[in-house]
Amino acid sequence: MRTMLYSLTSLLVVSMFLACADAPEGERVEAGDAVETPGDQQAAGQTFQVNTAASKVLWNASKATGKHNGTLSVGKGTLTVDNGQVTGGEIMLDMQSIVVEDLQGDQKAKLENHLRSGDFFEADSHPAGTFTITKVEAASGENAEVTHQITGNLTLKGISKSVTIPANLAVNDNQLTAVTPSFTINRLEWDITYRSGLLGTAADKVINDQIGLVIQLEANAAEEM
């Protein structure tokens, strides 16, 4: 009986701490096996180049004792547009550019360096992540924030997984914009396991496996040669 009571008490304590580490808000995006894409086959249409100064990724993460948020820069990238529809493209994510916005001074620098380390994104070994578009479909439903579902291979730490991301996508003349509502991905899919609750981490040290993301992307039609 005493053992059973101890187990129940432990379970309640763990549940309490996990509740304090609620996952970031947003639609959970499931990851699947990467889709093979022919390396020598380019989608037909006009090329748009990513405006890196106007594009970024917002991120947020939670743990039992609080939460953090910040940004990630979008590097070079191109998208292909045919008859006003996006047909393909690849976008680079600059993993060395991780910024923490809710801290200052030494604490800020310490967490940024930790996120770039081997515990998380291994930015020295894998300085660039990529998102390679494999399919774009018009969204069904009445959510004004979502006009399309964009499927692609997201590569982090050299691991590629297929994800489908909701987005408000618009192409107007020579400019393309894509803004996502908040969504989450499970970091374990990319072998980011530090302080995961699934690995027996002490309850008060758990970092939620879900990472919240918002993508803000702008691209401009490339000048024809």
The CATH superfamily assigned to 2-221 is Lipid/polyisoprenoid-binding, YceI-like (2.40.128.110)
Considering just the CA atoms, what is the radius of gyration of the chain in Å?
20
Q: Report pLDDT digits (tens) over 40-89.
A: 456 678 999 999 999 999 999 999 889 999 999 999 999 999 999 999 99
* pLDDT over 70 at 225, yes or no: no
* pLDDT over 80 at 38, yes or no: no
* pLDDT over 70 at 159, yes or no: yes
Percent of the chain with pLDDT over 90: 75
Q: Report pLDDT digits (tens) over 121-146.
A: 999 999 999 999 999 999 987 788 89
Rounded to whole angstroms, the Cα distance separating 29 from 197 reads 19
